[in-house]
Structure 1
Amino acid sequence: MSFLDDFMVRAVLAGIGVVFAAAPLGCFVVWRRMAYFGDATAHAAILGVALALAFNVSVFGGVMAVALIMALAISSLNGRGVAIDTMLGVMAHSSLAFGLVAVSFIDGVRVDLMSYLFGDILAVNRSDLMVIWLGAALVLALLIWRWQGLLTSTLNPDLATSAGLSPRREQLILSIALAMVVAVAIKVVGALLIAAILLIPAAAARPFANSPERMAVIAVGIGITSVVAGIEAAFILDTPTGPTIVCTAAVIFALGQLVRLVRTA
């Protein structure tokens, strides 16, 4: 009997795989103040699910395609006469609504919307696990490869331009990475909670980091702790696993803020 036969082990491994991709990327989301950007891309995932089911293709592929289109559309429309927060709000909620309506038109396919909205990490199988870890590895490799360029364009776009970097290209790379994380994470925490997994570990790590690299490493540690403790708490309390993982991360964030306040008092 393989240890992967245990659904709890598969759930923990799936959550850790998502964290390895989401936590470092979440640091850039925090630094660039892209919280709504991540939310809009995540909400578009439901439309990707509907299209994938309608055309009988991979849900991962459908979510990836729609999330990438959403991310690229937001990046290209930024600064063209519409306030970015307004545009993100419109696109986030409208894409979610269109996705939910599209799902209702699909005949002959049983769709568990709750699993796509809030995740169903306990139902992850071996093939899901392979997709999650492969996607996480690609995102992590992309971030490591472009780390210095992404960091420079985030901290000082003018300096990045003078150094021969293109801030717009780095934004595009972040958009691609974000779309991949959304496609990977939808099975684990669902479309409505993906932004939380991106943001909360990174935000919780910020007070304890004295360098960008250290913040990314601490965010990964907080994310892994949230996954393991959240799954255990959900099992004991009989609560939804995805939301419980996010609640655990939120508790860690709150404790971190409390420590910070005590230190500065």
Structure 2
Amino acid sequence: MLDDYLVRALLAGIGMALVAGPLGCFIVWRRLAYFGETLAHAALLGVALAFLLEVNVTFAVFAVAALIAVALLAMERRAGLAADSLLGILSHSSLALGIIVMSAMTWLRVDLMGLLFGDILSVSRLDIALIWAGGLAVLAVLALIWRGLFATTVSPELAAGEGVSTDRVNTVFMLLMAVVIAIAIKIVGVLLITAMLIIPAATARRFARSPEQMALLAAVFGVLAVSSGLAASRLWDPPSGPAIVVAALALFLISLTPLPGRLNPARRRAPQIPDHADAGEEQ
């Protein structure tokens, strides 16, 4: 069965969606879209270093993304700059370094389209195993820190007062983000990773009544986006990665349509997550 490239692509995409959905909820709640974009840009530097040092691409991307996340925490304490300013510095610097390293390897021929937008149709059995193993590990850790991470998202001060180690929880969350970006880069590419973290979660928020329900629905919408995007790619031959993201966008736009009766998202109460800036900048 795994000899069919479409089956392999579907399994890989579902594995990514199941983990990206719940994690993306915290990105939406904390207003950390720019942080996700920063790690995605750092992924390009990871890919360049992987080719230069001849190491595994997934491992290199995770190492660089994790380093960027830790650097952000360290710089916040010492630089005296706002988080968005630091993210801008790290994002563009890592992207520029990645391009410089790539351009220095004149002997290397890289599929830039596949790197930037993903190539889910080329995933191997090893890629599927890595995606599912990494995804299950991320979900397991997320379940363990869910209560503390959610409390920190709502109010870092109250969470600290209840004995939650906010620094440790935030560090673990950032490392989980690095893992997801490392395993997702081959599927949707550097430029589209953040979209798959944010759009299904934003769609789920329209329907969810609790944070846990929102995480579950985000995973479901992610799976639907992957399935629809691959089907569209098979029928009309657009690039698979962008097709998946456009399918996710279509689901989000449909969620904005008023529906009659109890199905109307406007009549449901959204998860009680604060939207103030502190929740997104407490990193």
Give the TM-score normalised by the residue count of structure 2.
0.89
Structure 2: distance between partners of 1:209 and 1:149: 21
Instruction: Measure the CA separation in 2 of the matches of 1:113 and 1:105.
Output: 15
TM norm structure 1: 0.95
Alpha carbons 2:255, 2:265 under 8 Å: kept: no
Deviation of 1:210 (Å): 0.9
Aligned pair in 2 of structure 1 residues 164, 90: CA closer, same or farther (>3 Å)? Answer: same
Q: Does 1:212 align with 2:211?
A: yes
Structure 2: which amino acid aligns with 1:138?
Answer: A
- Distance in structure 2 (CA, Å) of the matches to 1:81 and 1:260: 47
The C-alpha deviation readout for 1:52-101, integer Å capped at 9, x for no partner, is 11011100110010010111112232364223222212321221121122
The aligned residue for residue 21 of structure 2 is: 23
- What amino acid sits opposite 1:7 in the alignment? Y
What residue in structure 2 maps to residue 70 of structure 1?
68
Q: What do you get for the CA RMSD once the two structures are aligned?
A: 1.6
* Paired amino acid for 1:75: L
Q: Aligned pair in 2 of structure 1 residues 146, 235: CA closer, same or farther (>3 Å)?
A: same
SS at 2:198 equivalent: helix
1:260 is displaced (CA, Å) by 7.4
1:1-265 aligned at under 5 Å gives the runs: 3-78=1-76, 80-259=79-258, 264=266
Contact 1:52-1:62 at 8 Å conserved across structures: yes
Q: Which ranges of 4 or more aligned residues in structure 1 deviate by more than 4 Å?
A: 260-265
Shift of residue 264 of structure 1? 4.5
Q: What amino acid sits opposite 1:42 in the alignment?
A: A
Q: Give the drift of 1:126.
A: 0.7
Percent of matched pairs sharing the same residue: 48
Partners of 2:248 and 2:60 lie apart in 1 by: 29
Structure 1 gaps of 5+ residues are none
Alpha-carbon distance in structure 1 between the residues aligned to 2:111 and 2:96: 16
Counterpart amino acid of 1:103?
M
Contact 1:75 1:171 in 2 (8 A): no
Supply the distance in 1 between the matched residues of 2:113 and 2:57 (Cα, whole angstroms): 15
Q: Which is worse superposed, 224-233 or 110-119? A: 110-119
